[in-house]
Amino acid sequence: MDNHVMNTYNRFNIIVESGHGPWIVDSEGNEYLDFISGIAVNALGHAAPEIVKTLTDQASKVVHISNLFWSQPQIDLADKLAEKSGLDKVFFSNSGTEANETALKIARKYGYEKNKGKKTKIICFHDSFHGRTMGALSVTGQEHYREPFRPLIGDVYDAEFNNIDSVRELMDDDVCAVILELVQGESGILPAEPDFVKGIRDLCDEHDALMICDEVQCGMGRSGKLFAYQQYGVMPDIATTAKALGGGVPIGATIANDRAAQYFVPGDHGCTFGGNPLACACGNTIMHELFENGVLDNVNEMSGYFFKKLNGLRDKYPEKINLVRGMGLLIGVQMKKGLKSPAIEAAQKHGLFLAGAGNEVIRFLPPLNVKSEEIDEAVNRFDAALAEI
């Protein structure tokens, strides 16, 4: 499609005009079932009445005031995130990569206060993805993302995901933080093993380092709990979130305990648009829907139903599907080699949009309030697509 937008994305060749729930409508009037959800952003689907009302009400009051002033939506959302996460302080930004940048700066400041100029090392993991800004890219353990933009920030070391011995080999008192996804998303919906997560927590405690959980994709209810670390019974020092937090409105949050946040003071960081009243009002609506209106319960109910349906397709097409894995409504279907892209293309022809990931994985990311009949429709369309490839 010829236009003046920079060519940095491989896009589906349609123009989206509108949406409702899990459905989108293109400029030619064609309707599709959208199980990408803005890449795990649209927690309540498209044109969710709750979000529309919140946007209308808040926009009629004030949209943006900067962080030179307080706003009640920001205070309320910070209170809710702190209460439900078990952490203490919140910094608001606009995106997941910004949330992770903030976490890295908190970690480096923590290390600076503990041992000036020496406690600077950060451990991340092979195949991780934390964003595309220079700091977040530095801890993204995929060289094809990093290589064109070197030199990146220094003192970053890659360990092997789900291999605690590889972390132990890198760990010493000069490490200020370990950052990990509880479910590696971009590399193929790979959940962390419980002993691995607990081992990282123990090593961080032993060496006075911060444990950072990147919950940008797997957080905000998608795992079946507000944050995926709550599935493991482990408490990080910092959790980052974004995507579904605003239900489609850009917002990110870095949530830290007092141990980490105490050293972050005026002048250390900032974000012009971060935590503006409009975005925070939408965040409050999402929190209300998750906890007060049954959406989190729906994730857990629909997760088991969806896994059962997709595993049925795996049994039907063993020559095409390797396995189904994930957590909650963050589900990956690993295809046989070379079949991921053809399956996604065939699904589009049958009116179903799906997102790819690494290692031949197709991501299924429905809205968190998805209904069983919508899952049935998605599975039927995917079935038809598989039959063609």
Q: CATH number for the domain including 342?
A: 3.90.1150.10
Percent pLDDT > 90 in the chain is 99
What confidence tier does 1 reach under pLDDT thresholds 50, 70, 90?
confident
- In this predicted structure, what is the pLDDT of residue 182? 98
Number of domains into which the chain is organized: 2
Residue 116 pLDDT more than 90?
Answer: no
- In this predicted structure, what is the pLDDT of residue 195? 98
Domain-terminating residue out of 249, 267, 292: 292
* pLDDT tens digits, one per residue of 144-192: 999 999 999 999 999 999 999 999 999 999 999 999 999 999 999 999 9
Same domain, 283 and 346: no
What does DSSP say about strands 352-353 and 31-34: parallel, antiparallel, or unpaired?
parallel
| Full residue range of the structural domain in which residue 319 is found | 16-48+294-388
Residue 257 pLDDT more than 80?
Answer: yes
Same domain, 285 and 306: no
Q: What is the mean pLDDT of residues 69-82?
A: 98
- In this predicted structure, what is the pLDDT of residue 187? 95
Same domain, 160 and 61: yes
Percent pLDDT > 70 in the chain is 100
* pLDDT tens digits, one per residue of 315-373: 999 999 999 999 999 999 999 999 999 999 999 999 999 999 999 999 999 999 999 99
Domain-terminating residue out of 292, 311, 343: 292
Domain-terminating residue out of 292, 312, 330: 292
Query: Does any domain span residue 2?
Result: no
Residue 2 pLDDT more than 90?
Answer: no
- Omega cis (within 30) before 151: yes
Separation CA 125–CA 195 (nearest Å): 16
Q: What is the mean pLDDT of residues 253-273?
A: 98
The tokens for 286 are: 């999402």
- In this predicted structure, what is the pLDDT of residue 171? 98
Same domain, 250 and 306: no
The tokens for 144 are: 């094809």
Same domain, 288 and 316: no
Name the E strands within the chain.
16-20, 23-26, 31-34, 89-93, 121-125, 156-159, 175-181, 183-184, 190-191, 210-214, 238-241, 252-256, 321-327, 330-335, 352-353, 355-357, 361-364
Same domain, 170 and 307: no
Closest-CA residue to 346 (of 381, 370, 374): 381
Same domain, 308 and 166: no
Same domain, 60 and 113: yes
Query: Does any domain span residue 11?
Result: no
Same domain, 152 and 58: yes
